Structure 1
Amino acid sequence: MGSERLGEMLSISEELIKKSCYLSFQAHKFPDDLFRVEKFAAGSSDVVFSFPGSWSVESWASVESAFGDKKIQLSLFPSMKSVGYYDEAAGPDEHQDFATASFNQAFLQKFEHLLQNSQLKNKVQEAINEKKRIVFTGHSTGGATAVLTTIWCLENYPKQSNGTFFCVTFGSPLIGNHIISHAVRRENWSQYFIHFVKRYDIVPRILLAPLSSIQREFERILPFFDPNSPAYASESIGSSVEAFRLFTNVMRNAVSLTTHAASKLQGSTNLLLETVKKFVKLSPYKPFGTYIFCTGNGNLVLMKNPEAVLQVLFYSCQSSSETEWATIVLKCLKEHLAYENELEGSLDMQSVTCDDNLETLPLASDGFFDDLGLSEKARLCLRAAGEFEKHKRRNQEKVSSKMEMIRKHLKVIEEYRALCEHTVGYYDAFKIHKDKTDFKANLSRIELTGIWDEIIEMLKRYDLPDELEATKEWINLGTRFRRLVEPLDVANYYRHSKDEDTGPYMKTGRPKRYKCTQRWLEHEQKLQSGSCGESCFWADVEELHKLSGNFAAVYGERERVLRVQEQVGKWIQDGLIGTDVLLKSSTFEKWWSKLPTDLKTETISRLMNGLGNVQAWQ
């Protein structure tokens, strides 16, 4: 740890940060403007969009849930999900089984209103056409709007996402759950979100408490923050009973949340932790991006580890004794309005500490984090957060070391497929399973499924870096694995008649290792969920083959029968599956040949005839 210049670390100048802060506070003076745009002097490459805050309880949290959060519609923010993680509670429809992000509903509604009722899209496009770097900024809930706008732009302008959009907030509340933090890091967007937080500012911590527990006090306090209110910055509000109750309520909830989070980071397996969650509602909100804590004496502490930021939000706002509480309560309101003056001095001093190597953070005074007033217990929590990130990197090295083993076994199966593709096809050869080559391929299948199941379980526990499931090398390897091995898994499933005990493969038998790797590819290529089913169509064929001869049942599945043929035809033409699928006496050919003529598609008929001519010539 040591001191570095802030502008270089953030890729945004100190002057632009100061300008953004000034414009954020200016935006509050024009609450009827949904946003304001500031273009600088000719030759400047920057344009700043600033958003005003809101000063009613309803604009902070809806009452539909304890914390005012709600799962988003992926149509608006398609990347705000965990791509590989399977949400067991989502039901049997695998196309809807993402762990989807939850956003603060009130903030989201304000953003949707902004999107629909303003010139925001046109102004953003104008700035892009002019090749400007765009900074979205806001203070208080204006910061929340800036964050949502930035995510929306990163989603909708992918070609401009590399350094075109930045978000700089000041005293912004948290906006959503851990899935947002995970998704932003996965998409490599984290560096574009920069949040300044003063040590005692209560607003970034507000949503750590349920709205119902603070609503009355918060309603009384909000005029303190509103520059258009007669009670703006009122000393009587800052020292009121309501302010004290608000502070103590937020911190009481924050301690429950951070204690639970720290225990999980430290690897606690105590079942009491999960039991407590059933009785104590813990806030779902979590920080993401880069946080810069303003200590109040000119020093800045830069943190990128979201778990560490959460701990600092709680521990840095503590008092050393109960006699200091009244002073801190007043500070926690006043500091929310003091960012301009704070940054003017701090950015000039350039005393910046980073959260590198948190796992080795000294438990006593270290000269770096002292200005945040962190206790020994707080430092232990930061160590745990640092160690957890290091643990993820070690896991990444562990699974990366198995890449060669994965490729070795995939080569065995590729050779097996080549051996079978001119006889009965490798799906049916494996299903019949009578030769030594089948046995050898099965050993490789078992090895591969074991390795990938371990990787998927790590992803489910978030024990791997968030970026892994968007890494090109892993997407390609996962796709190659899925296309080669899943047909063998399907063949094995129906060879042993597991469908009779467990149910159809696609409904109850398909492993997460294939669902996950399929979604990696679909997400990377921005394809519709479920569209890359070329590795598992055999399961549909097997289920439809059972209906052969029962015309009523076959016609009852007319849509599915036609869909499978169209998909298989397209995948063969695209080279995603081989023509061995069509070989005479293959499971596919046996099913297709028994279909009523009016259910046979032209594509498959043409491919069948073409393959028949080739075989006859041979």
Structure 2
Amino acid sequence: MAQNQAKVFSGGLESASYVASSDILTSLWKDHISDLKPEAQNQNLFWKKVPNESGLTVITFGTTQNLDQPDLHPFSITDNHPFKFICSEKNPNFSLNDSAFSLFKHYGTQLNDLKSKTDLKKPVIVTGYAGGGSIASLFTLWLLEKMDPTDKRPLCITFGSPLIGDQNFQKAIWQSSNWNSCFLHVASLLDPLVSSSISNNSFSPFGIFLLCSHYGSTCFESPVSVRKLLNLTSQLNNQGLQQNCDYGSIVENLHRKAICKDFDGSNISHSNLLQESLALQLCALGFPQLLQLQETRMKSLVEELSKEVQQKKRFVPNKKLDEMKVNMAYLEWYKKVSKKKGKGYYDMFKDQSFPFDADVTRYKKDLSFYWKEEVEEAEKQPQKEGAPFRTRWLYAGTNYRRMVEPLEIAPYYKSGERDYINKGRPEHYKQLEKWLKEDKKSQSIGRTNNVESILTLDSCFWAHVEEALISCQTLKNTRSDVEAKNSLDEFEKYVYGSLKDYAVSSEIFLEGSSFMRWWREYIGIKGASHDTEFANFMKNPTNYKKYMEGAYNFL
């Protein structure tokens, strides 16, 4: 475990140095923010949009209103508001800075016009100081709602901006790394406006924070870490050390330090690379000097921050999905082996009569754990981000559902349970199926007349078979059971409809399958004279081969 921890590194110093040395902060402040003024005396919100020769557009916001220490305005997924798109099934509610939102809403018509005229095919930076930074954040979020896949994501850079949302708002943005990285907040530890907003525990930071002081700067992304550090610096206000900050001088100083590299580093020894890098970040900010932290308190703070970094989930979907493809390949092999044994993989797994069945159980468990997490993450995604996420992963998720859910159904009925679909079906299978139905482009996944190797499209097919077997047993015991008769009639229609759509794998016709066992019991109950399209199809085994080849002519 210690070896794994040693490989984790926090690159906040490098990120801060890169930003500070790039001239972008000094340029935004000098050329756009410092001379921004309202055109009218009673204008509470004002902005300017400046394109340059390179194609970059800078939109700068300013306000005469004080937006710190406000009330929170609650919103839900059912409300009609400009930021409804960031809600999700798992995160349907959030709250915003009431003053900032009211100001944004008051100028909604003009801002909507600005939004419609902002070309995201070219790079866009949205910026602002103090309350203007709060409006810049809201406007950037609004721009993200209008993006299409070919657009460039806007970048929002704020200076001394108070926080604008609660923890649910932060989570909504945090769930999309693409969105979270669009926000860079420059915040001085000596800025009372920043610390006053963090003092309200209802507010939560989002995006990347470039924390700075006259000692230096560093970047933090974890909202818990940012909150912890800003809470600590709020005590500077009690010491009279905080004051209105000149961010022009601050960014000039950051630029000089980034170029001159005049930082000595930490003399405190830590147990691994992650803690060492975090200690360097705190020393770069001047934490020991500003807060007069002793070595033991510094070590304790570093350890707290280290835990936050390690607990943060690093989502590397492509790599993990590739690992899951190996598991799926093993199940494909198992499917082929079961076919040779004349049973089908559903019944072979249900019987558990071979040593490699235990391996299948392990692969099924790993796959289910992975896809449960994937579905949970997708449900948390904001609506605008969640839809394309689901589309990208829907093909793999659908194949997983059709391959693995029958292996979920088999032990369920073997243990004597009933009504899997309503009582036993895990939620992530339901959600994957729901998303497939919602995504019209993906509904054709797996549809082909060549059914020799396909997965049955309805992943609950075997649950219907098991219920039909139970109904057959009920009728054997009680011939007059109307519910069982109706259930079997419905199942016959369901199967024949699936066959006509070539939506069922041909392995259901293997002699050792539960489906063929059901057919023998069913025709025994109905009698040889049972004359339906389905019965006529099933009575002639040569039809099975025609079906497998996609050559059977359904009327």
Indicate whether the TM-score tops 0.5: yes
> Following the alignment from structure 1 to structure 2, what is the Cα–Cα distance between the partners of residues 561 and 108?
58
Unaligned runs of 5+ in 1: 63-67, 82-95, 209-249, 254-282, 595-599
* C-alpha deviation, 1:313, in angstroms: 0.8
**Secondary structure of the structure 2 residue equivalent to 1:47:** strand
* C-alpha deviation, 1:14, in angstroms: 3.6
**Computing the radius of gyration over CA atoms, which structure comes out larger, 1 or 2?**
2
1:192 and 2:182 correspond = yes
Q: Percent identity?
A: 16
Q: Paired residue for 1:151, among 131, 141, 145? A: 141
The verdict on how the C-alpha distance between 1:11 and 1:310 changes in structure 2, with shifts beyond 3 A counting, is farther
Partner of 1:380 in structure 2? 300
1:293 and 2:188 correspond = no
Q: Does the 8 Å contact 1:27/1:52 carry over to 2?
A: no
> Following the alignment from structure 1 to structure 2, what is the Cα–Cα distance between the partners of residues 74 and 103?
12
1:538 and 2:461 correspond = yes
Q: Deviations over 1:426-445 (max 9, x none)?
A: 335544x2753xx63x3133
Q: Deviations over 1:143-194 (max 9, x none)?
A: 33332332343343142454x4011122231423267357536433333211
1:412 and 2:412 correspond = no
The verdict on how the C-alpha distance between 1:358 and 1:579 changes in structure 2, with shifts beyond 3 A counting, is same
Q: Map 1:317-466 onto structure 2 (within 5 A).
A: 317-319=234-236, 325=238, 327-328=240-241, 331=242, 334-335=244-245, 338-340=246-248, 342-343=250-251, 345-347=253-255, 350=258, 359-360=275-276, 367-370=283-286, 373-374=290-291, 375-376=293-294, 377=297, 380-390=300-310, 407=325, 409-420=327-338, 425-431=344-350, 433=351, 436=354, 440=356, 442-452=357-367
Partner of 1:21 in structure 2? 33
The verdict on how the C-alpha distance between 1:5 and 1:448 changes in structure 2, with shifts beyond 3 A counting, is same
The verdict on how the C-alpha distance between 1:40 and 1:307 changes in structure 2, with shifts beyond 3 A counting, is same
1:169 and 2:88 correspond = no
**Secondary structure of the structure 2 residue equivalent to 1:414:** helix
> Following the alignment from structure 2 to structure 1, what is the Cα–Cα distance between the partners of residues 195 and 548?
72
> Following the alignment from structure 2 to structure 1, what is the Cα–Cα distance between the partners of residues 208 and 74?
22
Partner of 2:451 in structure 1? none
The verdict on how the C-alpha distance between 1:615 and 1:43 changes in structure 2, with shifts beyond 3 A counting, is closer
Partner of 1:124 in structure 2? 115
> Following the alignment from structure 1 to structure 2, what is the Cα–Cα distance between the partners of residues 184 and 369?
25
**Secondary structure of the structure 2 residue equivalent to 1:327:** coil
The verdict on how the C-alpha distance between 1:537 and 1:301 changes in structure 2, with shifts beyond 3 A counting, is same
1:307 and 2:220 correspond = no
> Following the alignment from structure 1 to structure 2, what is the Cα–Cα distance between the partners of residues 149 and 554?
61
1:614 and 2:547 correspond = yes
RMSD of aligned alpha carbons: 5.9
> Following the alignment from structure 1 to structure 2, what is the Cα–Cα distance between the partners of residues 136 and 47?
6
The verdict on how the C-alpha distance between 1:564 and 1:382 changes in structure 2, with shifts beyond 3 A counting, is farther
* C-alpha deviation, 1:493, in angstroms: 1.1
Q: Does the 8 Å contact 1:101/1:180 carry over to 2?
A: no
Query: Normalising to structure 1: TM-score of the pair?
Result: 0.58
> Following the alignment from structure 1 to structure 2, what is the Cα–Cα distance between the partners of residues 543 and 113?
57
> Following the alignment from structure 2 to structure 1, what is the Cα–Cα distance between the partners of residues 123 and 486?
58
Q: Deviations over 1:592-614 (max 9, x none)?
A: x99xxxxx99xx99xx9986743
Unaligned runs of 5+ in 2: 1-10, 267-271, 447-455, 476-480, 524-532
> Following the alignment from structure 1 to structure 2, what is the Cα–Cα distance between the partners of residues 49 and 453?
48
Q: Does the 8 Å contact 1:39/1:47 carry over to 2?
A: yes
Query: Normalising to structure 2: TM-score of the pair?
Result: 0.63
Q: Does the 8 Å contact 1:294/1:300 carry over to 2?
A: yes
Q: Does the 8 Å contact 1:191/1:290 carry over to 2?
A: yes
1:46 and 2:53 correspond = no
Give the letter aligned to residue 196 of structure 1.
Answer: V
> Following the alignment from structure 1 to structure 2, what is the Cα–Cα distance between the partners of residues 20 and 540?
65
> Following the alignment from structure 2 to structure 1, what is the Cα–Cα distance between the partners of residues 28 and 305?
31
Give the letter aligned to residue 45 of structure 1.
Answer: L
The verdict on how the C-alpha distance between 1:138 and 1:408 changes in structure 2, with shifts beyond 3 A counting, is closer
The verdict on how the C-alpha distance between 1:434 and 1:391 changes in structure 2, with shifts beyond 3 A counting, is closer
Partner of 2:123 in structure 1? 133
Q: Does the 8 Å contact 2:70/2:98 carry over to 1?
A: yes
> Following the alignment from structure 1 to structure 2, what is the Cα–Cα distance between the partners of residues 401 and 543?
34
**Secondary structure of the structure 2 residue equivalent to 1:302:** strand
Kindly tell me the number of residue pairs found equivalent between the two proteins.
481
**Secondary structure of the structure 1 residue equivalent to 2:240:** helix
Q: Does the 8 Å contact 1:308/1:382 carry over to 2?
A: no
Give the letter aligned to residue 39 of structure 1.
Answer: V
Partner of 2:105 in structure 1? 113
Q: Map 1:491-570 onto structure 2 (within 5 A).
A: 491-499=410-418, 504-511=419-426, 514=429, 518=432, 536-538=459-461, 541=464, 545=468
> Following the alignment from structure 1 to structure 2, what is the Cα–Cα distance between the partners of residues 339 and 358?
30
> Following the alignment from structure 2 to structure 1, what is the Cα–Cα distance between the partners of residues 137 and 437?
22
* C-alpha deviation, 1:307, in angstroms: 2.9
> Following the alignment from structure 2 to structure 1, what is the Cα–Cα distance between the partners of residues 492 and 34?
62
> Following the alignment from structure 1 to structure 2, what is the Cα–Cα distance between the partners of residues 141 and 572?
61
Q: Paired residue for 1:490, among 398, 409, 412? A: 409
**Secondary structure of the structure 2 residue equivalent to 1:301:** strand
* C-alpha deviation, 1:380, in angstroms: 2.8
> Following the alignment from structure 1 to structure 2, what is the Cα–Cα distance between the partners of residues 16 and 205?
23
